[in-house]
Amino acid sequence: MPLGIKKLSYDAILPTRGSDGSVGYDLYSNEDAIVPCQAGNALVGTGLAVRIPDGCYGRVAPRSGLAVKHCIDVGAGVIDPDYTGEVKVVLFNRGFDNFEIKKGDRIAQLILERCETPHIKEIGLLEETLRGSDGFGSTGK
């Protein structure tokens, strides 16, 4: 099944891939926005709705160039396959300067990932493992 895209705005830009080997589809801003510095955030619209293929969900991920050059990160990046509203991107600015977004800028990437949603069954005991309940750095420095 293809990735279905619906333009909600006539001037919205369809997602693109940077190369044949790119896993992510670049998402473009459909509005001007400012992401305030030092832990500020902004919700930026793409002007698009998507139809995620069966057995998948969409993960909105950061663009590496924005992360390295401007300390821009992405949050709340799960698009459920039954969501039909506008794809919006939560951007966080971890840098020391406000970050300006212009309409048409690439702001994130959409990655399709296969997923399973098994039924939940409450159980009384978990099987013992070598690791057990050790976590948060317990397997190394």
- The predicted-structure confidence for 34-71, as pLDDT tens digits, reads as follows 999 998 999 999 999 999 999 999 999 999 999 999 99
Residue 93: which pLDDT band, with cuts at 50, 70 and 90?
very high
Two tokens at 31? 């509005």
Q: What is the dihedral of CA 28, 43, 75, 119, to 10 degrees?
A: -100
Domain boundaries, the chain: 4-114
What is the model's pLDDT at position 15? Answer: 99
Distance, in Å, from the CA atom of 46 to the CA atom of 59, rounded to the nearest integer, reads 15
CATH 1.25.40.10 fits 4-114, yes or no: no
Distance, in Å, from the CA atom of 103 to the CA atom of 22, rounded to the nearest integer, reads 23
Residue type, 52: I
Strand partners, 4: 51
pTM of the model: 0.90
| pLDDT surpasses 90 at 81 | yes
Residue 141: which pLDDT band, with cuts at 50, 70 and 90?
low
Which residues, at least 6 apart from 138, have a Cβ–Cβ distance to it below 8 Å? 131
| pLDDT surpasses 80 at 107 | yes
Distance, in Å, from the CA atom of 141 to the CA atom of 134, rounded to the nearest integer, reads 14
